[in-house]
Each structure stands twice: as C-alpha cells, then as structure tokens.
Amino acid sequence: MSKAKTGDRVKVHYTGRMENGTEFETSKETAPREFAIGSGFYFAGFEEAIIGLRIGDTKKVTLPPEKAYGPWFEELTVRVKKSDIPEDINPVVGEKFKVWRPDGNLMPLTITEITENIVTLDANHPLAGKTLIYDIELIDII
C-alpha cells in the first residue's frame, strides 16, 4: 500500500481543536475533504502532516501558528468611533462582516471589543496566533 506524497490527491477526515480542547472544525459529519497535497488548498502544516500516511492511518498533529493560520498582528486591528458607525447598525462583539478594500478586494472583519465610544475591528483570521491540534485520518489516495 502506498504512502501519501506531495502531488497526490487525497481524501481526509479531520477534527481541529485549540489547545484548551475547544473544537473549531470537523469533517466527521460531512463528506471527507478532497485536495491535492502541496496545492495550498490547506495551510502547509496540515498538508505536510498527511505526507507518509497510508489509507486508514490516523495522526494527531500539533501545529504552531507559523504552520497554521500565522501570527496575530496588532496592525490588523483598528479602533473606530462608535459615532462613525451608521445609526442603523447595532454592533455586537463577535459579529463578522466584510468591507471593500481600496484594491477592490473584500476584507473580512470581526468586532472584538465595544466600549462606550469605541468599536474595535480585527482583520486577523480568528485562529491566527493560536496553536492548533488536528486529528487526521487518511481515507483515500485518488
């Protein structure tokens, strides 16, 4: 039986957890995820963890931020005056939305803090700066 290698198209099931055990994503309730190893479909640490597995193998891997969603950057947060937010919008911590960047692309933002006069918006990925733990099962090499 062959081992998964870069360039192989694979199907995997996985469950992702944060260090405190909180599950943030799983494929167990849906179809296995299919992608080519090395394609960049998933971040490098996840794809690298599959290399060397055989069909049916499972693996637990701990990924530091550099191998997952990257570091968290303070410069990707901005504080805006509450008075600058349109009156018909009631900001809520945890709310996600997208705004147009000057280059024409959409940028996802999350409201992370609200004080009496200031709303803090964060453009970092919600899992940036976090060490993540994945339980991976190789279902098939296509």
pLDDT band at 79 (very low <50, low <70, confident <90, very high): very high
106-to-1, 16, 110, 123 alpha-carbon distances in Å: 44, 26, 13, 11
- Give the residue-averaged pLDDT of 99-106: 91
Percentages helix, strand, coil for the chain, rounded to the nearest 5?
Answer: 10, 40, 45
pTM: 0.84
Rounded distance between C-alpha atoms, residue 85 and residue 120, angstroms = 12
Residue type, 68: A
Q: Which residue has the higher pLDDT, 62 or 90?
A: 62
Note the pLDDT of residue 47. Answer: 97
Residue 85's pLDDT band, with cuts at 50, 70 and 90, is confident
Domain definitions of the chain by residue range = 9-70+127-141, 74-122
Q: What is the DSSP string of 51-63?
A: TT-BTT-EEEEEE
**According to CATH, what is the number of the domain 9-70+127-141?**
3.10.50.40
pLDDT band (50, 70, 90) for residue 99: confident
d(CA 91, CA 114): 8
- Give residue 90's pLDDT: 87
pLDDT in tens, 39-59: 999 999 999 999 999 999 999
- The mean of the pLDDT values for the chain is 95
* Statement: residue 23 has pLDDT above 90: yes
pLDDT beyond 90 at 86: no
74-122 folds as Thrombin, subunit H (2.40.10)
